[in-house]
């Protein structure tokens, strides 16, 4: 799907990046985020991003971390910059130095069958009791009263 072109003048480098993104049929969000993230680098450098060195990218990542940019956003920036340097500029060397950060993921709270029974008995609304008692419970299919977690059920349900 081609995205509409804006009638305002676009630099040849930006147009090349847009063409690379369109050629690979990336989503509109990828298109928007890549342009925004590479624009952040250009603003940080105060010059064109194609002149960036590995040391400039390192300083940019440190500055982003110090500014409190969340980990998922920083990883999105790394992906956009890697695409820009490897595909658009054909300069993979600076992109190798970019570091993806580990994103800590919390485990879901899991309750035992007794805890779930106490929770369900504590509610007086029939609607809240009916949902978790169904056969399909938050993506876990119960088989003969048991599920994949050896009798422990997740706390969250929709």
pLDDT in tens, 13-56: 899 999 999 999 998 998 899 999 999 999 999 999 999 999 99
Percent of the chain with pLDDT strictly greater than 70: 73
Residues whose CB is less than 8 angstroms from the CB of residue 149 and which lie 6 or more positions away in sequence, other chains included: 110, 140
Do residues 52 and 87 lie in contact, with contact meaning Cβ atoms separated by under 8 Å?
no
Residues whose CB is less than 8 angstroms from the CB of residue 96 and which lie 6 or more positions away in sequence, other chains included: 54
Q: Which residues of the chain have pLDDT under 70?
A: 1-8, 107, 126-158
Question: What does the pLDDT read at residue 35?
Answer: 92
pTM above 0.75, yes or no: no
| Best CA proximity match to 84, nearest among 46, 39, 44 | 39
């Amino acid at each position: 799907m081609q995205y509409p072109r804006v009638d305002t003048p676009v630099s040849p480098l930006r147009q090349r990046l847009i063409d690379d993104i369109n050629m690979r049929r990336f989503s509109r969000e990828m298109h928007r985020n890549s342009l925004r993230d590479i624009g952040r680098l250009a603003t940080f450098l105060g010059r064109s991003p194609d002149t960036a060195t590995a040391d400039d990218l390192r300083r940019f990542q440190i500055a982003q971390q110090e500014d409190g940019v969340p980990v998922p956003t920083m990883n999105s920036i790394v992906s956009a910059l890697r695409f820009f340097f490897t595909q658009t500029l054909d300069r993979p060397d600076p992109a190798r130095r970019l570091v993806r950060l580990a994103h800590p993921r919390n485990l879901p709270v899991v309750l035992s069958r007794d805890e779930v029974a106490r929770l369900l008995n504590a509610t007086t609304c029939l609607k809240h009791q009916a949902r978790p008692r169904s056969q399909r419970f938050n993506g876990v299919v119960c088989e003969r009263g048991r599920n994949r977690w050896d009798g422990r059920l997740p706390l969250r349900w929709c």
